[in-house]
Structure formats: structure tokens, C-alpha cells
Amino acid sequence: MVTIKASYNNMKELIGEDITVSELDELLSFAKSEINNYVEEEDMLEIDVKTSNRPDLWCPEGMVREIKGILEKEKGIPSLSIKPSGYKVKVDPKLTSSRPYIACAVAKNLHLSDYVIKQFMQLSEKIDHSYGRRRKKASIGLYNLSMIKSPIDYKVIEKTHCFIPLGNDKEMSLEEIIEHHEKGLEYGYIVREYGHYPILLSSDGVTLSLPPIINSNTVGRITEETKECLIEVTGTNFETVNVELNILCQTLADRGAEIFSVEIIYPQEIHKENVITPALTKQEIIVDLEIINKYLGTEITTSTAIKILEKRRFEGKSLDTSKINVIIPPYRLDILHWVDIAEELVIGLGYNKIGATKWQVLTTGGLSQETEDENKVRNILVGAGAVEILTNTLTDLAILTDKVNLDDDSFVKIENPVSVSYSVIRNQIYPNLISVLSRNTHESYPQTIFEVGEVVKIDKETPCTQTNLAYLYADAEASFEDAHKLLHRLMSLLKVEYSIETKEHSSFISGRCGIILVEGNKCGVIGEIHPNVLEKNLIWVPVVGLELELYLLPSLSCKRKFTF
């Protein structure tokens, strides 16, 4: 999801219709967007665009393009006439291994208000961040055309090359920019991976920018006075840089700018032929309406389909009674398959208008055997008067170790935790329940709690998800017997033969704890919690309890789920 800000009044103006905020919201749903907030005093809409593969919608101009189609104010693919600018860009073959592709255009007759500039910057930033994968895949640059002389060089340069980066007043070398400049710190890693520095230079040697990091403070500054500009997209993917440029050109054209093309001179290593950008070649896809109608449950005729496609800013030509050749606008790269066209058609028909149908095929429902068995255990525990708890599986290392006197760390750890409180996946449950008791010492005793939940263990280096039961009983009079009698009844109700073997366990009192054995397998632990653990958790009454791995009980069908 991408959130953008836009002026409500300006959107009304672009649409050419006086509509209310809620009417606008309704129309925006056709552009997979919705109004999240409207600050009337600032005339500012906050719009959530739900699609991550339609960067053309991440600006008011793009959304209005869709709305105008739905309102039938404009139909089909927007026309965009392009004249050559005479500008050329020469691409250095050394860039083959790093950031080989570039697409450029010249925009003239600009009428840039502060709002339009901000809108355009917002669009560039959103595209760079999301569609351009934080500038790694592609990034956008804008320059004052009057300061640039053709041909432009897109080449590799030495790290000592200097220029004044945007927002600075002093020259910095490329190396310094990567090491110290705010944007260098943020995006420098991309260039570091290349092993060399890409640069854009005007033919008179003036630096345009260090892509994808920072523009020049002079050439790369756009103001309300700028009447002509150069737009450039560099990146690692040919299609991506070109579609991004197409989106930017269409957006500026929608604001009244004239667009001129630039010739990109590629070395053979990168691209077989030179390219004129923006390359507004329209992709096509042939779809079979019969198949689409079966898929959607609709009865769309070819003529209706073509009309809807035009409302959705496509164009279509009927090939026979069922097949249509669909022409895709050059600012869209998201059409991969006929199902994408099927969606365009059904959006055009209206989700709330086509009518829901009842699929009547009979199927048998049921819980998994595993859930059924877990429920049996839960019911026994509830019957025993225990209160069920649901705790986090993603928890704190200290809760699983130090707080219960353990140093075993054979649990799944997170590489990128947001907080230490949520940094490991539990491998057993009773430490969490100790933590629950620790936070409830002001509540009346006895406290009888349990959890039947998932834990993850690592078995021969493979993580496996399994369900455990943990039970704790806290009371001034609590003793081993309280846990033992519960275990005994539970096992007897579940028809499981078990034994307890006395064994030391640092969470429990020596001689008052043991492991639970079923068919020779160690499947749990039972005992009186060690006073040292109680002290660490500020619990001032004795606590007894047990933990059981349910998959080891032969009468239950709780399976372990290995990750592969």
C-alpha cells in the first residue's frame, strides 16, 4: 500500500466536476484507492493506493486519469505526441555490470506551482522507494534543462570527482558523498556493491548527478521558475526504467507540458540498438472473452468488453466473435496474463452490480484431527478448574532462559527483531506462564493456569512446529501432588501409560521434579518450581506445574510440522 497526499480542490479541478469527498472516495475505488483522511483546513486528502504494481496511480493525475475513464469524460489510451529534443545520452559500456539502463525525456512549457512540484516529488519518491526498490532497481532524476548541453554522458568516473550535492554549499568528492552525505549514508550501499561510481555529465563537464544517490545543487534543482526540464531514470532493468519514464511523462503532459524525446546511445554490450525515449510502444494481449466469461461468471459481449476497456483506458479490437486484441497503455507494466484483463472488465462492470451467486457444491467441513485432540486436552484442563492463557510465541530471550534458570538456547532466533521483547520463538510454554504469574501477584490465590499452544523446536537443524501443554498451579499450599494428580488424570483420560523419572532440572527443586516418559520417550517435565525462579519473578507463593509435548502421546494425532 502506498499513501499519498493530494489537494481535494485540485483533484476536482483535474476531474472537471464539482464532487463531494465521499463521491470522490467512491470513484477512487475504481483506481484501487480510498480516502483515509481529509483535513479540510489544509485542503489535503490522504489517499491509500492499495496496489503496489501500479505506480502510475501514485499521484492525483494518475488517479484522475482512471476516474475520467469511469465518468466517460475521456476514453481509451491518453494521446501523447512527442517531438525529438535533439538531446542524446551516451552510455558507458563499463556500466554493463552495475546500472546499465537509462531513459530520458525533455519536458517544456512547464507551469510549475509549488503544489505541482511537491506532487511530482512525492510521485518520484514513492516510485523510487517502492517500485524502484529503494532506488536499487531504478531511480528518478530531474534537472534544469537550460544548464545542460547535449550529448550527456552516463559513465563511470573516478571516486575523486567532485560536485556540490543538492542541499550543500561546498563541493564533495563522490567518495565523501557516499561516506558522509545524508543520502550517501542511506543509499551508498547500492553504489558500493557496483565497485565503481556512475555519473551523469553534461557535455561541458557539468555534473548532473551521482545516480541513484544525489543530484547536483545547481543543475538538479527544480523551482517554480523552471520552464524546461530533463527527466532521467537509471536502473538495472530496461523495462522498469522505461515504464517509469512513461509514467512521469504522462503525468507532466496531464499538467499541460510538452514532451520531447531523447536518444539513448547504448554500447553493444548493453543493448543491441539505440533507443528513443520515452519509448511509448504499446503492449498488446489477445484475450478470449468466452474464457473470461466462464472465469467471472458473466456474459460480457465483445462490444461491451471494448467499451469497458476504453473506460479503463485500454483500447480493444475485436478479432472474432470471442477474441479481442487488447492494447495496453504505455504507463502500465502490470498486465501479465488475461486474468489481469478479466479484472479490468469486472471492475468496469462494478463489483456491487454484477450480483453474487451461490456456489452450491457440497463439501464436508471439519477441524483437523490435531485441533480436535488439542481441544480434548483443553477441555480436561478447563474441567480441572484451570484458566486458559494465550501468550505470544514470539518472546523475550530472558523469559525463556535467565528467568527460569536455563541457559539452553536451542530455539529459533530472529535475525531482524524490532525489539528484544520479541526476538525468539518459544520452544516451550511454561516460562511464559511463569511470566503471567509474575504479573498477577496482586490477584487472589490459588492461581491455576494453562496454555495449549504452538512452540518451535529445532530438530537436526530443521525447525518444527509442535503443540505443547503447560500447566501451573500457584498457591501457599501448592505441592508436587497438585501437578502429579492432574498429570495422572490427564494421562488416564487420554489412555496414555506414563512414568516419571526423577531428574535434575534447573527450573525446578532438586528431588521434586522429573521427566515424563511415554514409551521410552521423554515427553515432558513436572515438578515444583525452584524458589530461585520464584524470587527472580517476584512470585511469593510456591508454584508447581508441568509441560507436555503432545505429539509424543500415542493416542493423540498431534503431528510435528517440519519446515521444508
Partner 1 sequence: MNNTENKIYLSPETVKLYEEISKKKEIRIEELLEVTKLNRGKLEYYLSFLVSEKLVERNDIINKKLKLTKTGLDAAKNGLIERRIIKILKEKSSVSFPELSKLIQSDKKEMNAGIGLLKKQNILEIENGQISLIDENIDFNLDLQSVLEDLKTKQIDDAGINTDVIVKRNLGVLEDKKETILKTIVDYSKTKDRIEKTIEASRLTPEMIRDGSWKTIRLKEYNLKVSPPNYFVGRKQPYAQFLDDVKRKLVALGFQEMRGPIVELEFWNFDALFQAQDHPAREWSDVYRVSNPQKGSLPQEEYVELVQKVHENGYDTGSKGWRYKWDSKKSARMVLRAQGTSVSARTLVDLPVPSKYFSISRCYRPDTVDATHLSEFNQVEGIVADSSITFRDLLGILDTFAKDIAGAKEFAFKPDYYPFTEPSVELSTVDPNLGRIEFGGAGIFRPEVTRPFGIEVPVIAWGLGIDRLFMVKHEITDIRELFSYKLDWLREEKMV
**What x/- string results for residues 132 through 151 when contact with partner 1 is judged by CB under 8 A?**
-x--xx--------------
Q: Rule CB under 8 A: is residue 323 a binding residue for partner 1?
A: no
Q: Which is nearer to partner 1, 193 or 461 (CB)?
A: 461
How many residues bind partner 1, per CB under 8 A? 95
Q: Which is nearer to partner 1, 65 or 505 (CB)?
A: 65
Least distance in angstroms from the C-beta of 158 to partner 1: 30
Q: Which stretch binds partner 1 (CB under 8 A): 144-152, 178-186, 438-446, 518-526?
A: 438-446
Q: CA-to-CA distance for 400 and 410, rounded, in angstroms?
A: 10
Q: DSSP letter string over 424-435?
A: EE-S-SHHHHHH
Site for partner 1 in 507-536 (CB under 8 A): none
Site for partner 1 in 184-243 (CB under 8 A): 237, 239
Out of 40, 273, 390, 476, point to the residue binding partner 1 (CB under 8 A).
390
Whether 74 contacts 68, CB under 8 Å: yes
- Identify the H or E element spanning 262: strand 258-265
Q: Rule CB under 8 A: is residue 327 a binding residue for partner 1?
A: no
Q: Which is nearer to partner 1, 197 or 473 (CB)?
A: 473
Q: Which stretch binds partner 1 (CB under 8 A): 154-162, 262-270, 347-355, 528-536?
A: 347-355
Whether 349 contacts 292, CB under 8 Å: no
Q: Which stretch binds partner 1 (CB under 8 A): 110-118, 255-263, 458-466, 539-547?
A: 458-466
Site for partner 1 in 393-432 (CB under 8 A): 393-394, 412-419, 421-422, 425
Q: Which is nearer to partner 1, 202 or 246 (CB)?
A: 246
Sheet containing 2-7: which strands, arranged edge to edge? 2-7, 44-49, 33-39
Q: Which is nearer to partner 1, 147 or 458 (CB)?
A: 458
* Cβ-Cβ contacts under 8 Å for 335 (sequence gap 6 or more): 283, 285, 326, 328, 341
In degrees and rounded to multiples of 5, residue 383 shows phi and psi of -65, -30
Residue 513: HSE in the Cβ half-sphere, 13 Å Cα cutoff? 20
**What x/- string results for residues 243 through 282 when contact with partner 1 is judged by CB under 8 A?**
----------------------------------------
Please report, as a single letter, which amino acid is at residue 545: G
**Which is nearest to 329 in space by CA: 77, 51, 53?**
77
Q: Which residues, in sequence order, are bridge partners of residue 394?
A: 425
Site for partner 1 in 82-141 (CB under 8 A): 130, 133, 136-137
Out of 79, 81, 268, 352, point to the residue binding partner 1 (CB under 8 A).
352
Please state whether the peptide bond connecting residue 212 to the residue before it is cis, i.e. omega within 30 degrees of 0: yes
Least distance in angstroms from the C-beta of 254 to partner 1: 22
Q: Rule CB under 8 A: is residue 58 a binding residue for partner 1?
A: no
Q: DSSP letter string over 152-192?
A: EEEEEE-TT-EE-BTT-SS-EEHHHHHHHSHHHHHHHHHHH
The number of beta carbons lying within 10 Å of the beta carbon of residue 181 is 21
Length of the chain: 564
Out of 114, 358, 476, 520, point to the residue binding partner 1 (CB under 8 A).
358
Site for partner 1 in 291-310 (CB under 8 A): 294-298
Please report, as a single letter, which amino acid is at residue 485: K
Least distance in angstroms from the C-beta of 547 to partner 1: 18
Q: Rule CB under 8 A: is residue 383 a binding residue for partner 1?
A: yes
Q: CA-to-CA distance for 78 and 366, rounded, in angstroms?
A: 53
Q: Which residues, in sequence order, are bridge partners of residue 49?
A: 2, 33
Whether 279 contacts 241, CB under 8 Å: no
Q: Rule CB under 8 A: is residue 476 a binding residue for partner 1?
A: no
**Which is nearest to 353 in space by CA: 109, 41, 115, 30?**
30
Q: Which is nearer to partner 1, 259 or 434 (CB)?
A: 434
Q: Which is nearer to partner 1, 204 or 299 (CB)?
A: 299
Q: Which is nearer to partner 1, 288 or 402 (CB)?
A: 288
* Cβ-Cβ contacts under 8 Å for 426 (sequence gap 6 or more): 392, 393, 394, 395, 400, 411, 432, 455, 456
Least distance in angstroms from the C-beta of 49 to partner 1: 9
Q: Which stretch binds partner 1 (CB under 8 A): 155-163, 265-273, 316-324, 339-347?
A: 339-347
Least distance in angstroms from the C-beta of 360 to partner 1: 9
Q: Rule CB under 8 A: is residue 468 a binding residue for partner 1?
A: no
Q: Rule CB under 8 A: is residue 36 a binding residue for partner 1?
A: no
- Identify the H or E element spanning 35: strand 33-39
Whether 208 contacts 136, CB under 8 Å: no
Q: Which stretch binds partner 1 (CB under 8 A): 185-193, 270-278, 376-384, 477-485?
A: 376-384
Calculate Rg over the CA atoms of the chain.
33
Q: Which stretch binds partner 1 (CB under 8 A): 48-56, 71-79, 207-215, 511-519?
A: 48-56
